[in-house]
Amino acid sequence: MPSFDIVSEINLSEAGNAVQNVMREIAARYDFKGSKAKVDLAENVITIFADDDMKLRQMREILQGHLQKRGVEPGSLDYQKEEPAAGQSVRQQVKLKEGIDKDLAKKIVKEIKDAKFKVQVAIQGDELRVSGKKRDDLQEVIAFVKGLKIEQPLQFKNFRD
């Protein structure tokens, strides 16, 4: 029986490379000379340290640009609230969203079932398994899910006949 998986994954090595490129660019830029600006990546959380709000906004834009170049989509970034750090400096955490949470999974399953496709959808942890009798039905489901307005980037993997 043909099947495929709907997942939401991030290549963490590419995210690490993007963070290193951001640090290299900050070190070379004139407007960041003498500042204590830095970016760290640890356990799916990117932490941005900056001297003030303006530099924090600039670093966010630089980070987002480098992540996009490396294939990490903006929808997989969850910006947390800015918080004050030592002195007048500010810090912000950016969580990298991996996996499909239960609410989003239930929404996708409901949308597929409401569209009356001849497939079965099962929630397996943080991914969805879609199986059906015909390969064409599965391809229609892929096109349908791509057409849904979902902010989190989704990938379609393990397509089996």
Per-domain boundaries in the chain: 3-8+100-160, 12-96
Architecture per CATH, 12-96: 2-Layer Sandwich (3.30)
Residue 51 has pLDDT above 80, yes or no: yes
E-strand ranges in 24-118 read: 38-42, 45-50, 77-79, 83-84, 90-96
**DSSP state at residue 30:** G
* pLDDT tens, position by position, 71-116: 888 888 888 888 887 778 899 999 988 888 888 889 999 988 888 8
Query: Could you give phi then psi for residue 99, rounded to 5 degrees?
Result: 85, 160
Structure tokens given for 46:
């990117």
Q: What is the mean pLDDT of the chain?
A: 88
Options 2.60.120.260, 3.30.70.860, 3.30.479.30, 3.40.640.10; which CATH number does 3-8+100-160 get?
Answer: 3.30.70.860
**What's the number of CA atoms in the CB half-sphere (13 Å) around residue 42?**
5
pLDDT band at 1 (very low <50, low <70, confident <90, very high): confident
